[in-house]
Structure 1
Amino acid sequence: MISRVTRSSMQFTALRHLQAKDATLAALLERQSSGKTITVPSDDPAGTVDALRLRSEQRANTQYTRNTNDAIGWLSTLDSTLLSTSSQIISVRDLIVQAGNGALSETQRISIASQLEASSGTLLGMANTTYMGRNIFAGTSAAESAFTDNGDGTYTWNGAAGSAVERRLGDDTTVQVDSDGGGVFGNGATSLFAVIDSFATALRSGDALDVSAALNTIDGFHSAVLSESASVGTRYNQAKAAQSAQESLTVTLKQELSSVEDADLAETVIQVSMQQVAYQAALSATAQVLQPSLLDFLS
């Protein structure tokens, strides 16, 4: 049986094909202008899933990068402070050795005592160093300063014992970015500052000096500073390694996301040109199908 092809069916078919060509051309033009192969999930469901996963990894990596940069800032501040503290303690030790010279005049003793008191103040300032408004030697304490001069020859550590400020560098990696001020500088009447002040007071008043005991105490504090400095250096290297890995991952994720989402512009331009030719041909064919006949005018 031969199917009858009516003029209306021809017109319907021509219009349907024309609309399909128009939709394809519009999609290609949108891809060309946006530079993306996926504008809605239905364009590529599997690609959309991959893109969402990659963007999630990008957000996590961005947060870890911020954490790592903050950790490096903390640890850099700690490192420079501990180095300065070490240098200052060596100066204090030299002054104590000078004070052990029994032939010193009163003027010389007072001069050394003044220098020791100034060094104690300098060390107290170092112990109260902050980074971004946070004390680097007070743990998670919100105290205004890590150490307080009580005015009676004692100094109180205001830190939170057993606490630590940490930054997460990855899913399973954290690093401590502060130091235990109590462990480095001591606390109360046996703190580094109190020991220096006590020796300076005895020197100023002409009392008998136990230089050997003072040197042993100072050397103990110096060893604590050097040990903490080594620990900070290790943690700093850990943070720098994490930073390098995060920078590499940033590039990798960007490339992978581009391979999923970004359109091949050269290929898209060619497809647009071909589709425009096909669309023009469809327009021409449709125009011929839709030409009115004599019966159209007579009806």
Structure 2
Amino acid sequence: MRVTNNMITYNFLTSLNKSLERQNKIQEQLTDGKQLHRPSDNPVKSIRALRANVSLVENEQYTQNLNDAISWMESTDSAMSNLSSIAIKFKELALSADGTKPPEAYKAIAAEMDGLINQAVTIGNTKLGDRYIFSGQQDKTLPFVRTDDTVTYYGDNNKISMQIKAGVTTPTQDSVNLTGAAIFGANNEMLQHMIEIKSQLETGTPDLNVVLNTGLTNLDVDSSKLLEAQTQLGARMSSYLLAENMLEKANVVITGDVAANEDLDIPKAIIDFKTSETVYKNALSVGAKIMPASLVDFLK
């Protein structure tokens, strides 16, 4: 077969353009340190990187849910500890009503108890951001309102759950909240028992059996329920903290996978670029020598 000048020129320029394309590709990679800019760069690595990035996005949402859930439970735990302290102080005041005091002393104790009841209601209305933590799913509604000696609950008894892993959440198991019933009882019994004791002492001539026997027994039961709910909350919080730790470790592995598939080996790329640049320049030099005239004609 006869080889013409045009064939030589065409083959040379085709080879030269491929060399230039490779050089430009490496230069593009060096610009941002990424080896993948389009699926055709490396189809297998592109698929792996895509899957890893999707997993990272999903885990980012799970991480946010975990952070929100843990913050919610920490606020709840702190509020319940404060309620337990109030219950202890209230029982101490009740025990001080030992039948040896004048009427004004009982009334003074009642006034202090009234302040503790108000504090308990305030804790029941604790907010995290703009959400009431003890209102159930009605978390934009003020849960507890005290009118004289009646406390009304306006929240609901529904659980709030946050998805922290792939799959279906179970509100009864994965709930992050406690409702009003969990802290004060289904009908605000704890607050009502406090009010009953306080009301006895306000008279100045209290029925000490109601105060020291029935009243304190009821408060002991209420405190035990409060502690039990707090313990269950602590167990759930521990599982969420463990899930957070596991998710952080998983993210480290996935981030490594992304880097392995996307990130450029800079030192190697620099060497490849220099090599490609040298090959391209040498090709230009050789081409100019073997076809000085035909190349100019072709380019015209």
TM-score, normalised to structure 2, is 0.91
2-side partners of 1:22 and 1:93: how far apart?
86
Which position in structure 2 is the counterpart of 1:113? Answer: 110
* Equivalent pair of 1:113/1:203 in contact (CA under 8 Å): yes
* Equivalent pair of 1:10/1:289 in contact (CA under 8 Å): no
Which position in structure 2 is the counterpart of 1:212? Answer: 213
- Is 1:185 aligned to 2:181, yes or no? no
1:207 is displaced (CA, Å) by 3.5
- From 37, 45, 48, the counterpart of 1:47: 45
Which position in structure 1 is the counterpart of 2:237? Answer: 236
Moved more, 106-115 or 225-234: 106-115
2-side partners of 1:34 and 1:187: how far apart?
61
Which position in structure 2 is the counterpart of 1:156? Answer: 152
- Is 1:200 aligned to 2:201, yes or no? no
Secondary structure of the 1:170 match is coil
2-side partners of 1:129 and 1:237: how far apart?
22
* Equivalent pair of 1:146/1:157 in contact (CA under 8 Å): yes
1:55 is displaced (CA, Å) by 0.7
- From 114, 130, 133, the counterpart of 2:130: 133
* Equivalent pair of 1:156/1:187 in contact (CA under 8 Å): no
Moved more, 54-63 or 269-278: 269-278
After TM superposition, the structure 1 = structure 2 runs for residues 240-251 of structure 1, keeping only pairs within 5 Å, are 240-251=241-252
Which position in structure 2 is the counterpart of 1:166? Answer: 161
2-side partners of 1:183 and 1:274: how far apart?
72
1-side partners of 2:71 and 2:85: how far apart?
21
After TM superposition, the structure 1 = structure 2 runs for residues 96-107 of structure 1, keeping only pairs within 5 Å, are 96-99=94-97, 101-107=98-104
1-side partners of 2:289 and 2:231: how far apart?
87
1-side partners of 2:281 and 2:199: how far apart?
100
Moved more, 48-57 or 201-210: 201-210
* Equivalent pair of 1:82/1:229 in contact (CA under 8 Å): yes
2-side partners of 1:31 and 1:142: how far apart?
50
1-side partners of 2:22 and 2:206: how far apart?
98
Query: Which aligned segments of 4 or more residues in structure 1 are displaced greater than 3 angstroms?
Result: none
Cα 1:27/1:131, change in 2 over 3 Å: same
Percent identity of equivalent pairs: 25
1:138 is displaced (CA, Å) by 1.6
1-side partners of 2:150 and 2:140: how far apart?
18
Which position in structure 2 is the counterpart of 1:60? Answer: 58
* Equivalent pair of 1:18/1:286 in contact (CA under 8 Å): no
1-side partners of 2:6 and 2:289: how far apart?
13
Deviations 1:57-108 (A, max 9, x none): 0000000000000001000001111111111101111111111x11111221
Secondary structure of the 2:292 match is coil
Amino acid at match of 1:95: L
Secondary structure of the 2:164 match is strand
* Equivalent pair of 2:87/2:219 in contact (CA under 8 Å): yes
Secondary structure of the 2:106 match is helix
Gaps of 5+ in 2: none
Cα 1:248/1:198, change in 2 over 3 Å: same
1-side partners of 2:292 and 2:129: how far apart?
78
Gaps of 5+ in 1: none
Moved more, 28-37 or 81-90: 28-37
* Equivalent pair of 1:128/1:145 in contact (CA under 8 Å): yes
Deviations 1:229-287 (A, max 9, x none): 10111111111111111111121111110001111111111111111111011101221
Amino acid at match of 1:91: K
Moved more, 46-55 or 61-70: 46-55
